[in-house]
Structure 1
Amino acid sequence: MVLKCIAIDDEPLALRLISEYVSRFPSLQLVKTFEDAISGAEYLKTAQIDLLFVDINMPDITGIDLVRSLKDKPMVIFTTAYKNFAYEGFELEALDYILKPIDIKRFTKAVEKAVDYFNYKNKTTVEETDESLYVYSEYRMVKIELNTIEYIESMEDYIKIHITNDKTILTLMPLKKVLEKLPSTKFQRIHRSYIVPVGKIRSILNRKVQLTDAELPVSESYLDFVRNWKQR
């Protein structure tokens, strides 16, 4: 598997650095580079590209506007010298957001995320052997190991994923959508506001699920889960 990618940046030195970094990864193929956003945008209208490295501050149109204009978006990694565009990158579901000057270690981390996410999103179904979940949080894609999830809580338009060591990850996603991304034998919905990992249930009593560090209610709609769990 090789990801086809292009780079768009109005700084020739930045393009050369990205080209040199990309050449170190057998999993990447740099198809073209562009020094202006308009030419890059025109190319993307017809080309099949998996990954786009794009600067944000450019003189003709910004990288933000370029990505926003694309009908079929590839995975996007923004490269910029400015931190204040992070929210726009989040809105466009950018895979990552790398600040210049680009460090090879930081670049490697972004590429590894791109390869992992490409494999993840190209699965036709959720497999019971899946061990991770990808969500957008803190302006970039975050990988969560399934075995670290304690429970998932709905907060209107957002969900809060409670993970090991009292950490939480907040992401804009309905509970129903995240449930579709999880293996059904490992995670079950017990309430309109909660999803729990089945393997971490310690007991169920009086329509309450006892987890390691939390007690959650079971609503009327999900009592079948309680009956099935007790018959295990």
Structure 2
Amino acid sequence: MKLNCVIVDDSEIDRLTVVAYAKRFPVLNIAGVFSCAEDALLFISKENVDVLFLDIDLDGSSGVDLRKKVPEIPCCIFITSHPEFAVESFEVETLDFIVKPFKFDRFEQAIRRLTEFMELRLKADLFEASIGGDSIYIKEGHEQTKVKLHDILYIEALKDYSLLITQEKRHCVLANIGALLKEVNFKSFIRVHRSFAVQKQYVQKISSQELILHNNVAIPIGRSFKENLNIFL
């Protein structure tokens, strides 16, 4: 996997720092380095870009504004001196938020998160339910893996993807948790949190804040989803 990245920062020292750190990761290909959002946007319109490393406080258009204009780019990591913009940045599909000044180990942590996300994204480019209705087929690499629905303990949301957790493995599919739960094949699952849905037969214990599943797996209960638990009463 090779990821084309663009670095945008109006500070030359900070640009050079990010470039130096990025060059230490073979997975990253530095496709472009820019001091303003306008030049970066022109480049992005002509090239294939996988990752943005953006400062927020730029001359002219801000890093957040730039991100809003290119939502099709899979990953965005903000690197800024302004932690107060963290909440706003995560409203525009931000993978990570690094506060300046930062050291290499913090950048390395962001790249680990980036590679994990992109690997899951590559694996999850195909998902479809089987005709029989008791299994699903998940594309993993060049093969399709058959997963029996009754083997899935719970579903965990991951942005536009979902993790299907069995006792043996975590499978990633290109479908958000809300869309999955509308499928007739997933009618045995109960949404108990914004990020989690559990299969009813695996619930062992219920408290005010969490569910305990088979093998002592703990799943949090979201306040707005507590009414869904009435099915167990």
TM bracket, shorter-chain basis: 0.5 to 0.7
**Counterpart of 1:124?**
125
On the 8 A contact 1:188/1:195 being kept in 2, the answer is: no
Q: Within 5 Å, give how 1:217-232 maps onto structure 2.
A: 217-218=230-231
Deviation at 1:134, TM superposition (A): 5.6
Of Structure 1 and Structure 2, which has the larger fraction of its residues in helix? 2
**Counterpart of 1:190?**
190
In the alignment, structure 1 residue 34 sits paired with structure 2 residue 34: yes
Q: Per the alignment, in what secondary structure is the counterpart of residue 84 of structure 1? A: helix
On the 8 A contact 1:82/1:99 being kept in 2, the answer is: yes
Q: Per the alignment, in what secondary structure is the counterpart of residue 49 of structure 1? A: coil
Structure 1 132/108 Cα, relative in aligned 2: closer, same or farther at 3 Å?
A: farther
**Counterpart of 1:110?**
110
On the 8 A contact 2:6/2:33 being kept in 1, the answer is: yes
| 1:96-131 Cα shifts (integer Å, max 9, x gaps) | 110001221111111111111111122223545999
Structure 1 117/198 Cα, relative in aligned 2: closer, same or farther at 3 Å?
A: farther
What letter is aligned with 1:124?
D
What letter is aligned with 2:43?
Y
Identify which range, 34-43 or 68-77, moves more after superposition. 68-77
TM-score, normalising length from structure 2?
0.63
Q: Per the alignment, in what secondary structure is the counterpart of residue 39 of structure 2? A: helix
**Counterpart of 1:5?**
5
Count of residue correspondences: 180
On the 8 A contact 2:8/2:53 being kept in 1, the answer is: yes
Distance (Å, rounded) in 2 between the aligned partners of 1:71 and 1:175: 20
Structure 1 98/14 Cα, relative in aligned 2: closer, same or farther at 3 Å?
A: same
Any unmatched runs of 5+ in structure 1?
149-173, 204-208, 220-232
Distance (Å, rounded) in 2 between the aligned partners of 1:54 and 1:147: 37
**Of residues 202, 205, 211 in structure 1, which corresponds to 2:204?**
202
Deviation at 1:43, TM superposition (A): 0.7
| 1:59-97 Cα shifts (integer Å, max 9, x gaps) | 111101111122523410001001111122111011111
Structure 1 134/10 Cα, relative in aligned 2: closer, same or farther at 3 Å?
A: farther
What letter is aligned with 1:114?
L
Distance (Å, rounded) in 1 between the aligned partners of 2:189 and 2:155: 18
**Counterpart of 2:83?**
83
Distance (Å, rounded) in 2 between the aligned partners of 1:145 and 1:99: 33
Distance (Å, rounded) in 1 between the aligned partners of 2:98 and 2:62: 16
* Identity %, equivalent residues: 24
Distance (Å, rounded) in 2 between the aligned partners of 1:98 and 1:59: 19
Q: Per the alignment, in what secondary structure is the counterpart of residue 85 of structure 1? A: helix
On the 8 A contact 2:156/2:197 being kept in 1, the answer is: no
Distance (Å, rounded) in 1 between the aligned partners of 2:166 and 2:20: 37
Distance (Å, rounded) in 1 between the aligned partners of 2:104 and 2:157: 23
On the 8 A contact 2:155/2:197 being kept in 1, the answer is: no
What letter is aligned with 1:201?
V
What letter is aligned with 2:231?
V
Any unmatched runs of 5+ in structure 2?
128-137, 139-146, 168-175, 206-210
Structure 1 66/210 Cα, relative in aligned 2: closer, same or farther at 3 Å?
A: closer
Distance (Å, rounded) in 2 between the aligned partners of 1:202 and 1:73: 42
RMSD: 3.9
Structure 1 199/42 Cα, relative in aligned 2: closer, same or farther at 3 Å?
A: farther
